[in-house]
Structure 1
């Protein structure tokens, strides 16, 4: 029998995500918690579960294996999953009514509902036109709205009364789904919202007619036609997004605002008020609008401006039970929580996300140390209170006094989930994730004058002073993503595996990464290359001072997405420091990425073409003197294959040898088990050969 290997375990557990409970929802009375979880650590099929808070007992609510939902996942659902980097199958999403009595979900494009308050209930399929995408019950639990064929439809819970509320009125129009940049960059993954009384819906109409047309093909199957996609390329047109108030009788009222000045619809909240957050194309101005549900007219509730960009915190705006607006804004180099316009968090505590409101209590995540993310609450009665204290990274949901806390730390594997009432643990939600075959040995440090949060991982068998170790830098290193945290994560496991192969692995979060304050994030505005590369060099040298066994004459670097860009950038611009690189899905030509993300940091390419060119890698091709492996998924619709192919063409034209590893059928996330497993081996072999190991 073949001995199990970490790369194989890493691949078949989908980065140890399988078996981990997630997508928690607390019932209005606080007595039940709904969630999804696969059946085991190597089972890729998500199931719907419910926890009885009083007894601590879990109950399986819906199992795809018993529903005989055969068939392909609809293309629209595949795209939604890709935008969310979803690697599981089965019930990957669900929605409930306001009382949490009914849940709705889709399987293979078919619509199912199930009663959550009846232990004997079994899921029922509703016979409706499909394929069904994103079904959501109304607040009263009497009907379900969903998207099919680009139309928003509704059906009664007993399967009767099915009808179309909004049908596409153009070849490139869809109703009720999020456009590409909303789902990929803004964190808005939906396109319709029920009114609190269930009498109407707010629906997004997305018209992609003016977008660029790109084509994703499969070179391994020349007979297969390419997939045509509308892409919002930097400097080009965005999707035309409008909002409509749609009644159950199909009546429609347009929501009106200055769409020419504010073309981005960032978020929607329909609670005691209907609030819509919009943002200007340059992202320097954002407004929270209150919508009149009767007329569609809007009034400005709040406006924020910033000379670089306005950062809109996930979960905002929110409303407390008394109707106070919950928002987050930057002041004194701190992202602070605001309630009714007043800051309620102190300078230095960086607010990262608003997670829940429970009456007048706000649950949010914040950090005063970048490697840790803690849960906090604020209420007018109780003031500001820290909920979690031990070093780690925490997620949470609060409802009716029931708090679900999901914890990661350096002291344990995976996620530990406990349910609390009045500050006391009353139940635990089990994780079925596999125990990793290795244990990461993470040493956190502050590197250099900028105190760059840095992690160093050495081989478990290494004895200090017994020999020099080649170095492997493994950064992401860019906006929106942190790797250096006080928790065992999938990346720390991969880093430790490389360490066991003989490397000293160094990971650094430089300028532009989150949770160091607004000024830190904005240092990359206008230049996504120079500061991030300088910080990797600084962290490397600082780590070598702390750990003398690091051999700076043999330094490799590997990364994916922005980390792939950073890896290629390192060997192209600093070959004196970096001696080999593996660059996975690197955005080499900044003008080939989307509007919202690139224009945020680099401005409009027509106004700042020099900035785009300086931050791209194509002109650097003649400078390559070190071994470089480029890895590219050919089905990637986020960082498309043209990025890698353009750099490869420039390298070839300059006579610079390099390696290109094309991955057939692979998107921006490597979800195929065999590819994910063997990719680690191929990267390791390349790095060992290139560094003379």
Structure 2
């Protein structure tokens, strides 16, 4: 059968149009970007130790790519590993290997560790060691001679197969080697191995003075209780110390850190000479930080390197970053000027220079190039809606932007600093990966991903900039229905968080920020989201506007968004809905009670209801203690405002929530009953603070159905 050119054009055009009418299923809207709609990526990227190549994982092996030529070859394959294995030892799938060199690495299977080593053109798998099946928080000595790990509340060393108990605390409320302070202040571990592998620093947390809090497991009969230690605002906090274990002498020394036992120990950093340890000692009020240097031998204070104070709070987020081959000079990240910047310190001279300056924030320190005296970092210098990669000479302060495309860039620097792996996306670009030569500033593309959403019906998305009452710009996005008709009026869902350490609106893929927003747009909703004051990456003034009065300034900013929405002729002002989780759940509930005339429907997930029941470190940073700020806590407390509810409110909570404990919404339910107020409620058994996996599809279907029932009709 033959077609004319005109007929063929009609067929192709029709095929193109029909291809873009596919609608998201709820499962795709919720989990699609992590499953069938995932954007192509380079898997398990890592630089080689000599910086001359990089590794990436494939389904059945690893590839090695030389730089700068980008010549690629198979490094090791599953068939190569299995060639020397038999019976039950044969690997059914390729393990994730950590390469020490291009000829040697290791992988784990359960508690067992195996070496993989090149032998001629072949690879051999050898037994290495086994750890206790209960081992957690495992860290390996950098000389590959042993492992440090925890079992329950104690710390252990397995060196060359010999196991030593570093601690032996019988009381399980004394915890060793684990992250402390509710993982605030950038703390993500409790074990710190010295650079020369001779000593192990570790957190020791005494929680005996902290009230136990029940988390009930409802999956067994009868239900079982597991107590956790959860220090609430204004109550006694745990006591933390820092121990030093000398591997050779088998001796422990605890640092002599003076001050209130409830103070916070942060930013733990070994000196590269392994002779001393730096600890950021932050008072419980979180407004006075001393960066102290302690002897690893005696535990005594050597000196206070610097002090930082604030009328609001000081929040250290990173350890010290020592310059290459130096034990005297380091970079400290600080917000002391109002934005997070890099500061050069010398142990003898003190502050040498502020390296970066401006009304923008450094978001990540990527590393150094010693030969060129350069530091690499990511920042918001272009706009708070994007991240870009830069280098600065630490002597001349000459700064250069290394990427060119708009969007959200992240970088991984090679060990020698000569190459930078740059991965980015923007509203129209799903993912691009470039390799930047930091000497020539030229780049080579190694991946440009196709758009996995190109067959789907996509909404129009508009960037919105509003102004807060003080003139501060507020960035948002409005997502229009996919069948948008400007002559119609549509219901609106406002999705918000608006709390510290979060940013919803960026120039990233997808432009909407969330496929569930697009799913709702396909169902005929307008979706609006905006980052008000209090949210992240806009500097301290923007964040600290909420200090001591959570839920006040944030709502005033979000009301600017409501005002904007009501000004649009295609918005049905009588059909406004609101949804948020965690801090966003607190904001949602606050709106439904403090401004009950604005939103007809609200869905609040995992909401903070009374800040006195939230953990100390976060709450007292932004609210002070209940004893020092009773009015602020009273204003934010939602339990005495339940009677104001006019619209439809669905509250959702994870039954095992150990972040915003279940009692928040349970007490709210009791207040609703006491006041004769009707509301809706749903619990997810087996889930902690976030409902994840396949059950998240159930959650978002429930949220969708609730808006359909009470907002759309």
Say whether the 8 Å CA contact 1:130–1:149 is kept in structure 2.
no
Residue 182 of structure 2: aligned partner: 181
SS of the counterpart of 1:599? helix
Cα distance in 1 between the residues matched to 2:107 and 2:291: 31
Query: 1:338 maps to which residue?
Result: 343
Pair 1:482 & 2:503 matched? yes
Structure 2: which 5+ residue stretches go unaligned? 1-21, 89-93, 346-350
- Partner in structure 2 of residue 452 of structure 1: 474
Deviations 1:38-58 (A, max 9, x none): x6xxxxxxx996753433457
Please identify, of 119-128 and 382-391, the stretch whose mean Cα deviation from structure 2 is larger: 119-128
Asked whether the 8 Å contact 1:558–1:564 carries over to 2, the reply is: yes
2:304 corresponds to 1:300? yes
SS of equivalent to 1:232: coil
Mapped partners of 1:636, 1:543: distance in 2: 34
Whether the 8 Å contact between 1:102 and 1:115 is mirrored in structure 2 is: yes
Residue pair 2:482, 2:524 contacting (<8 A) in 1 also: no
**CA 1:557 to 1:129, structure 2 compared with 1: closer, same or farther past 3 Å?**
same
Secondary structure in structure 2 of the residue aligned to 1:286 = strand
Instruction: Give how far 1:550 is off.
Output: 1.8
Q: Give CA-to-partner distance per residue, 1:172-222, whole Å, 9 cap, x none.
A: 22321112512xx33321111111111111111222222221111134644
Are the structure 2 counterparts of residues 178 and 381 from structure 1 closer, same or farther at C-alpha, using a change threshold of 3 Å? same
1:72-99 C-alpha deviation (Å, 9 max, x unpaired) = xxxxxxxxxxxxxxxxxx999x9787x7
Instruction: State the shift of 1:244 in Å.
Output: 1.3
* Counterpart residue number, 2:437: 421
Q: Secondary structure at the match of 1:202?
A: strand
In structure 1, C-alpha distance between the alignment counterparts of 2:117 and 2:437, rounded to whole Å: 21
For the 8 Å contact 1:409–1:487, the answer to whether it is kept is yes
Aligned positions, number: 651
Shift of 1:350: 1.7
Residue of structure 2 aligned with 1:680, choices 669, 675, 700: 700
- Which sits farther off after the overlay, 551-560 or 20-29? 20-29
Q: TM-score, normalised by structure 2?
A: 0.83
Deviation at 1:635, TM superposition (A): 1.2
| Contact 2:360 2:384 (8 Å CA) reproduced | no
Could you tell me how far 1:171 is from its partner in structure 2? 2.9
Aligned ranges 1:146-545 → 2 under 5 Å: 146-156=149-159, 160-179=161-180, 181-182=182-183, 185-219=184-218, 221-249=220-248, 250-260=250-260, 263-272=263-272, 274-298=277-301, 299-313=303-317, 315-321=318-324, 322=326, 323-330=328-335, 333-340=338-345, 341=351, 342-359=353-370, 360-368=373-381, 369-380=383-394, 383-399=398-414, 400=416, 401-413=418-430, 415-422=431-438, 423-426=441-444, 428=446, 439=458, 441-448=460-467, 449-463=471-485, 465-488=486-509, 491-545=513-567
Deviation at 1:523, TM superposition (A): 0.5
Deviation at 1:303, TM superposition (A): 1.1
Q: Secondary structure at the match of 1:621?
A: helix
> For structure 1, which runs of at least 5 residues remain unmatched after alignment?
40-46, 71-89
From 579, 593, 600, the counterpart of 1:558: 579
Q: Give CA-to-partner distance per residue, 1:329-361, whole Å, 9 cap, x none.
A: 335543332123322223212222323344343
Distance 1:189 1:522, change over 3 A: same
Name 1:42's counterpart in structure 2.
none
Q: Are 1:140 and 2:147 an aligned pair?
A: no
Q: Cα–Cα, structure 1 residues 614 and 396, in superposed 2: closer, same or farther, change >3 Å?
A: same
Tell me by how many angstroms 1:421 deviates. Answer: 2.7
RMSD: 3.4
TM-score by length of 1: 0.85
Contact 1:374 1:394 in 2 (8 A): yes
Mapped contact 2:580–2:604 kept (Cα < 8 A): yes
Please say if residues 114 and 127 of structure 2, whose CA atoms lie closer than 8 Å, have aligned partners that are also in contact: yes
Q: How much has 1:683 moved relative to structure 2?
A: 1.0
Per-residue CA distance 1:590-617 (angstroms, 9 max, x = gap): 1111111000011112222332221121
Q: Which digits, 9 at most, give the CA deviation of each residue in 1:623-671, with x for residues without a partner?
A: 1011000011101111111111111111121111100011111111212
Distance 1:15 1:438 in 2: 19
Say which SS state the counterpart of residue 188 (structure 2) adopts. Answer: coil
Change (3 A) 1:513 1:391: same
Change (3 A) 1:259 1:480: same
Deviation at 1:679, TM superposition (A): 1.7
Cα deviation code 1:109-149 (max 9, x no counterpart): x1425458888254746223231213222122222222223
Matches of 2:463 and 2:635 in 1, distance apart? Answer: 33
Please state how far the C-alpha of 1:287 moved relative to its aligned partner: 2.2
The structure-2 alpha-carbon separation of the partners of 1:192 and 1:18, relative to structure 1 and needing over 3 Å to count, comes to farther
Deviation at 1:259, TM superposition (A): 4.1
Distance 2:127 2:369 in 1: 32
Q: Select the structure of larger CA radius of gyration.
A: 2
Contact map agreement 1:511 1:531 (CA 8 A) in 2: yes
In 2, distance between residues paired with 1:517 and 1:123? 51
